[in-house]
A and B are shown apart, each in its own frame.
Chain A
Amino acid sequence: MTEVAVTGVGVVSALGHGKAVFWAGLVDGVSGLRPIRRFPVPSGAPILGGEVPPIAVTDVVRSAIGRRIDWVSLLALTACRLALEDAGLDPARLDPARTGLGLGSAWGNLQETTVFLDRLLARGAGNPLLFPNLVFNAPLSYASIELGITGPTAMLAAQEVSGEAAIAWGADVIGDGAADVCLAGGAEELGPVAHQVLRETRQMTSGVPRPLDPTADGVCPGEGAAVLVLEPLARARARGARVYARLVPSPGGSVPAPVHGWPRDPEALAELLRPLVGDAELLVAAASGNPALDRVEAAALAVALGGRRTLVTSVRGAIGDFGAAGALAAAAAALAVDAGLVPPTLGLLPPARADLHVVVGSARRTPVRVAVVDGLARGGLCCPLRLEAA
């Protein structure tokens, strides 16, 4: 099995465009959550959201086909370009057949899907120009075309762990020796439809989200994309690349849970996580402020960590909750290993659930030799990522 290095990090989030502003924001405890501006929010509904600042299509898209690109695909492509730039790789100089691309999204292009259906139901005909954007793998198609990638590709969907699932897939591609470079991450959009779903299902907080806080009463919706550049460790070293961390493939699984809900029994989750977290110095939690998720996650971690003083943090308090947020959590984990710095969990007022050692207030400087993103999703899915110091 080839060792896998993380050599590039590309992020677009509510904290801004690029890795630097993302990491500085997390470390300084800056919130990216603001009143939503892109669409009107009904009066009385929660107004906060984690919107990504506008991206100029012409800054990112080079091909004629790309001019019709949708927002989710644009987020993904932007993160890909930022990640390659961060890794010091020129897309034009990649070997197309030896480059892979894996992207994850929970919902894909929900917004244009409803635009298409509105016209279909009103006029009885679909819009042929819009349809290609509604194919679930459109972000994968746009990014592979724009970057000229012809090696292994996959679009994954895994609810809240869509980002982790794609990164795990990418680690396997490099681990198998099937590519020299693999871009892997996820993208998700925040639109009025997603907002309405969260409203109707009463999942949003009326205030700020409080991940792992026993008083948490809901999530704040967000959006964004993160893509990691993965390479064989030996190749990365040979070209003098900066190696943020090694990504160690970790088999995930699922535990008994309602099809659309969170598992209720923490023991099964703890059993899945225990072999991965025993020596972890940092655990990046899935916690979002959703009481059902946070409760079972905290209880499972308490069992799996068995009293060790592993530091815990969560990024969803700063950037909001969305399907691909785990890709940003993985980016944060890689950056934490590299910097020896653990960002605080925004929104949490101690004590945390289950007496976990959650970092709050200011960032904690400490060597992070092993960081684990626990990767929990509805339906009992668990897709953990393990990052180790290079």
Chain B
Amino acid sequence: MSGAIAITGLGAVSAVGQDVPALAAAVREGRCGIAPLTLFRYHGRSSLAAEVRGALAAPVALPAASARRLSRPDRFAVAAASEACRDAGLDPALRRAAALTLGATTGGMFESEEEYRRRHAGEAQRFRLSRLLGTSLTTAASVVAQTLGIHGPQATVSTACSSSALAIALAADAIRRGRARVALAVGTDGLCRLTYAGFDALQALDPEPCRPFDVARRGLSLGEGAGALVLEDAAHARARGAKPRALLVGHASGTDAHHVTAPHPEGAGARAAFRGALAAASLPAEAIDYVNAHGSGTRQNDAVEVAVLRAVLGSRLARVPISSTKSQIGHTLGAAGALEAVATVLALEGSILPPTLGLREPDPGFGELDLVPTAGRRLPIAVAASSSYGFGGHNVTLILARGDGR
């Protein structure tokens, strides 16, 4: 769909800090949030993760009993959503009518696993499976809605690692269809044994901090956190005097229909998503100034992504800086699309392109690419793309532009 949507508020919780200024500082300083895993014990190929550190506040608007039961990703979601609503200056009336979309993949899985583990270890006589009620993917959206009083249309989507990019797309669609003037899009996920052991079993985890696009890359580093963006009808934002931090000018999705975990060898769905997003934005490939890549750091994914960028950007590719935010905050799965959209908005605002940490020697197969290596780069940009690819071949590309329209 076409037509610009204003982004008037941002929120972020990640391994580099529990708000947007912390993320912006980490980008400036080239700080890495990937460190030894402490949340649970696991002996495998990797023992690293990008964990959210420090105490997690429970939302004050909930009854104490409900607040205590909240999972980590529910708390991340509320923190990021609250920050985004504050940033956008949304009063209770604006929040009440706002739409809410949320992307996630495992909900409160970690907390359920803890119950499960206690039973296996004989620490608990009785396994309270009722705890599973908290693992529902929908809980995070319910908590955000009930805590912040957001009562417009609500949707929770899960397309693996593109979940919250899709949530952003659905939020924009809700505005364009006139269902809401303001929409909050959130992505949230927490580390858990299931995904950690699952990715490890697929040999997809790098024993060292992930090195997207590097010749020695061996996989991804898992992370956790939440990203939140307030999207708004541009005229509505103008009328209430809210300054757009960026514009969402186009988005599209594309499906591989190829394999349950591996991407299509030529990235068919990812190409369709990128081309569709450019078409929706009525922009040629030459307009792209920067790409915040999916860049997971697995051998296969990075190679396919580069093939997609070659096909879509053509001769422009050599002049487009590319980086992967996953090198700083890990692969946050359901939160990745939202957190990386926040990082891309910060790049548009601050004219500092995020680094790709760990990138020491680019893969010779990617020779012509302008990869932003271990230090960020100061460069004013007008239009940027952020792509997210999910297991099962569900791909989304967002095209973002400067909020001042320059």
**Interface positions of A (Cβ within 8 A of B):** 65, 96-97, 101, 106-107, 110, 113-114, 116-118, 120-122, 124-128, 131-138, 140-142, 144-145, 147-159, 165, 169, 172, 175-176, 178, 193, 196-197, 200-201, 249, 251-260, 377-381, 383
Interface centre among A155, A200, A251 (most CB of B within 10 A): A155
B-chain residues with CB within 8 Å of residue A193 when the two chains form the complex:
129, 132
Min CB–CB distance B275 → chain A (angstroms): 11
Q: Cβ of A379 and Cβ of B272 under 8 Å apart? A: no
Can you list 21 residue pairs at the A/B interface with Cβ under 8 Å? A96-B257, A107-B136, A120-B194, A120-B197, A121-B116, A125-B44, A131-B198, A135-B260, A136-B105, A144-B392, A145-B392, A152-B255, A154-B159, A158-B156, A159-B138, A165-B155, A252-B154, A257-B142, A378-B138, A381-B138, A381-B154
Min CB–CB distance B130 → chain A (angstroms): 5
Q: Cβ of A126 and Cβ of B197 under 8 Å apart? A: yes
B-chain residues with CB within 8 Å of residue A175 when the two chains form the complex:
177
Min CB–CB distance B194 → chain A (angstroms): 7
A-B contact sample (12 more), CB < 8 A, given A149-B257, A158-B154, A256-B149: A117-B113, A136-B106, A142-B260, A144-B255, A145-B393, A149-B255, A157-B137, A157-B158, A176-B1, A193-B129, A253-B153, A253-B154
A-chain residues with CB within 8 Å of residue B390 when the two chains form the complex:
137
Q: Cβ of B146 and Cβ of A259 under 8 Å apart? A: yes
The residue of chain B having its C-beta at the shortest distance from the C-beta of A96 within the complex is B257
User: How many residues of B are in contact with the other chain, CB < 8 A?
Assistant: 73
B179 within 8 A of partner (CB): yes
Identify which of residues 5-36 in chain B touch chain A, using a CB-to-CB cut-off of 8 Å: none
B236 within 8 A of partner (CB): no
Q: Cβ of A122 and Cβ of B120 under 8 Å apart? A: yes
Q: Cβ of B155 and Cβ of A135 under 8 Å apart? A: no
How far is A134 from B113 in the complex, measured between Cα atoms in Å?
A: 14
Q: Cβ of B117 and Cβ of A157 under 8 Å apart? A: no
Q: Cβ of B177 and Cβ of A172 under 8 Å apart? A: yes
Q: Cβ of B134 and Cβ of A116 under 8 Å apart? A: no
How far is A260 from B80 in the complex, measured between Cα atoms in Å?
A: 21
How far is A117 from B40 in the complex, measured between Cα atoms in Å?
A: 14
Q: Cβ of B392 and Cβ of A200 under 8 Å apart? A: no
B50 within 8 A of partner (CB): no
Q: Cβ of A137 and Cβ of B136 under 8 Å apart? A: no
Interface centre among B116, B170, B197 (most CB of A within 10 A): B197
Given known A-B contacts A154-B157, A381-B138, A121 and B117 have beta carbons under 8 A apart: yes
How far is A239 from B149 in the complex, measured between Cα atoms in Å?
A: 46
A-chain residues with CB within 8 Å of residue B193 when the two chains form the complex:
117, 120
A-chain residues with CB within 8 Å of residue B154 when the two chains form the complex:
158, 252-254, 381, 383
The residue of chain B having its C-beta at the shortest distance from the C-beta of A323 within the complex is B136
Q: Cβ of A259 and Cβ of B159 under 8 Å apart? A: no
The residue of chain B having its C-beta at the shortest distance from the C-beta of A193 within the complex is B129
Identify which of residues 82-115 in chain B touch chain A, using a CB-to-CB cut-off of 8 Å: 100, 105-106, 113
Q: Cβ of A258 and Cβ of B158 under 8 Å apart? A: no
B152 within 8 A of partner (CB): yes
How far is A178 from B254 in the complex, measured between Cα atoms in Å?
A: 12
Q: Cβ of B173 and Cβ of A172 under 8 Å apart? A: yes
B-chain residues with CB within 8 Å of residue A141 when the two chains form the complex:
260, 391-394
B-chain residues with CB within 8 Å of residue A201 when the two chains form the complex:
130, 133
Q: Cβ of B142 and Cβ of A128 under 8 Å apart? A: no
B240 within 8 A of partner (CB): no
A-chain residues with CB within 8 Å of residue B42 when the two chains form the complex:
124
Q: Cβ of B156 and Cβ of A157 under 8 Å apart? A: yes
Min CB–CB distance A97 → chain B (angstroms): 7
B400 within 8 A of partner (CB): no
